[in-house]
Amino acid sequence: MDELPVVTERLTVRRFDAADVPAFAAYRSDPAVARYQSWDAPVPDAEARRLVAEFAAAGEGAPGWFQYAVELRGGGGLIGDVGVCVDPNRMQAELGFTIAPAHQRRGYATEAARCVLDRLFGTGIRRVSAECDARNTASARLLERLGFRPEGHRRRHTWLKGEWTDDLLFGLLAEDHGGPEIFACRPNLLVRDLAASVAFYADVLGFWVGWRWSDRQARFLAGDEPTEPGTALVGRDQVQLMFTQVDGSHTTRLHLDVSSAAQVDELFREWSGRGAEIAEPPFVRPWGMYEMRLHDPDGNVLRVSSPPAH
Ligand SMILES: CC(C)(COP(=O)(O)OP(=O)(O)OC[C@H]1O[C@@H](n2cnc3c(N)ncnc32)[C@H](O)[C@@H]1OP(=O)(O)O)[C@@H](O)C(=O)NCCC(=O)NCCS
């Protein structure tokens, strides 16, 4: 397993450190966040410091709880945490999550939990369990979005904050989770004159023109700016094509799309482990994609990338 931190489209998932204490104490002290959780709000500073120190010292992948800190990519501080408890048999685990209210309802919990699940299943975990208060509909929806199957409803099972509460049980098996999925393949045609190609596909073949990237300016061009050498995306119906105008030798390129940076990393590990010639390991490109490049035996370039940040 790669060392933390790891990045997803919009997030960095990392180890906790002492600087997280104020943000951690703040969101865990929100009564709405604590509503269906085992702790009481507010969380005293000393308790937040103790917990963060405990999280920072824990070993990822070792039996017991490990808490992942979640922050927006590019900095900005802690927005939540994803907790995992690995069973002593190292084949099963439990999952929990919390996102600060200001950052809820944007898909961050889904993205962070997917990243953590990819890591867990990558270490040989066969089953992940989760449970939530039956009234915690946001949590149940999140688990179902992650592919968890409902496994039961335990009535009046937990004494929580002065009342007996019902629990929902969920489970996700390694075989349900699956590995990284390449969901699209976009040919990247090399062209002599990018402006002429874009005009031909748009005006003659009726394709829409998506983004256009200028190599010289290292930025996307606005709609009214003339096309410059670089790369452009066009599409029609279910099909997308890319065109690149570059100097020098022309090599066939294909874009293979996966849905998260964790999946790019997983393919990187899988393919380099089997001896594929990885020309460029994954990193965030200036245009926002997390991308690796490799060569097939004929020198064709495969660019494997996750979508840019939303
Ligand atoms: C449980 C919890 C983490 C869920 O957070 P969440 O923000 O609802 O989940 P996500 O971050 O995955 O966001 C998904 C929601 O954002 C919406 N959304 C908006 N933009 C989105 C985007 N770009 N991508 C994906 N979803 C997006 C989705 O439609 C979804 O809304 P829906 O649930 O109404 O369908 C959060 O409610 C929480 O921290 N609760 C308090 C702690 C807690 O109870 N933890 C669980 C203990 S069991």
Q: What is the 3-state secondary structure (H, E, C) of 140-165?
A: HHHHHHCCCEEEEEEEEEEEECCEEE
Residue 59 lies in a domain: yes
Which pLDDT score, from 0 to 100, does residue 68 have?
98
Atom 41 in ligand 1: residue holding the nearest Cα = 33
Residue 75 inside a domain? The answer is yes
The verdict on 238 and 278 lying in the same domain is yes
Residues 21 and 159 reside in one and the same domain: yes
SS3 11: strand
Task: Assess if residue 36 is contained within a domain.
Answer: yes
- The CATH number linked to 267 is 3.10.180.10
Q: Ligand 1 mean position to 301 CA, how many Å?
A: 37
CA pair distance 130, 173, nearest whole angstrom: 12
Q: Domain with 69 in it: what CATH number?
A: 3.40.630.30
Calculate how far, in angstroms, residue 145's C-alpha sits from the geometric centre of ligand 1.
10
Q: Is residue 1 part of a domain?
A: no
How does 171-186 read in b/e, with b if 16+ C-beta sit within 10 Å? Answer: bbebeebeebeeeeeb
Provide the pLDDT for residue 310: 32
Claim to verify: residue 16 and residue 157 sit in the same structural domain: yes
- Distance in angstroms (rounded) separating the CA atoms of residues 274 and 106: 37
- 10-residue stretch averages of pLDDT, the chain, 310 residues long: 84 96 98 96 97 96 95 91 95 97 96 93 89 97 93 96 97 82 88 95 95 95 94 92 83 85 84 91 90 91 73
The total of other beta-carbon atoms located within 10 Å of residue 24's CB is 25
Query: 254 and 302: one domain?
Result: yes
47: helix, strand or coil: helix
> Exposed (0-12), middle (13-18) or buried (19+): which is 112, by Cβ within 10 Å?
buried
Give the total number of structural domains in the chain: 2
Q: Residue 57 domain-assigned? A: yes
Is there a single domain that holds both residue 163 and residue 188?
no
Q: How far is the CA of 103 from the centre of ligand 1 (A)?
A: 9
Query: Based on the domain organization, do 189 and 171 belong to the same domain?
Result: no
Decide if 127 contacts 85 (C-beta within 8 A). no
- d(CA 106, ligand 1 centre) in Å: 6
- 25 and 155 share one domain: yes
In the reported structure, the alpha carbon of residue 132 is separated from the centroid of ligand 1 by a whole-number distance in angstroms of 14
Q: What is the DSSP letter of 130?
A: E
Domain finish residue from 151, 177, 203: 177
- Considering the domain architecture, whether residues 33 and 167 belong to the same structural domain is answered as yes
Q: Are 146 and 212 found together in one domain?
A: no
196 in the same domain as 102: no
Separation of CA 200 and ligand 1 centre (Å): 43
Same domain, 225 and 157: no
Nearest atom in ligand 1 to 35's CA:
44
Within-domain flag for 292? yes
Query: Given the CA of residue 141, which atom of ligand 1 is nearest to it?
Result: 33
Residue whose Cα lies nearest atom 9 of ligand 1: it is 109
Give the model's pLDDT for residue 182.
86
CB under 6 Å to ligand 1: residues? 33, 36-37, 96-99, 104-110, 132, 136, 138-139, 141-142, 310
Cα separation, 56 vs 300, whole angstroms: 44
Domain end position, chosen among 177, 200, 220: 177
Domain finish residue from 153, 177, 201: 177
CB 6 within 8 A of CB 115: yes
pLDDT score recorded for residue 1? 66
Largest CA distance in the chain: 72
Q: How far is CA 3 from CA 14, 57, 119, in A?
A: 9, 15, 11
pLDDT at residue 27, rounded to an integer: 98
Q: How many angstroms separate the Cα of 293 from the Cα of each of 53, 118, 126, 278, 279?
A: 39, 21, 31, 6, 5
Among 18, 43, 20, 19, smallest CA distance to 30 is for 43
Is residue 265 one of the residues assigned to a domain?
A: yes
Range of the domain at 108: 6-177
Output the CA angle 172-16-141, nearest 5 degrees: 30
Residue 231 structure tokens: 């790369």
Q: Cα separation of 99 and 141, whole Å?
A: 14
Nearest ligand 1 atom, CA 33: 41
* 218 and 142 co-located in one domain: no
Give the whole-angstrom CA distance, residue 234 versus residue 231: 10
Query: Would you say residue 206 lies in a domain?
Result: yes
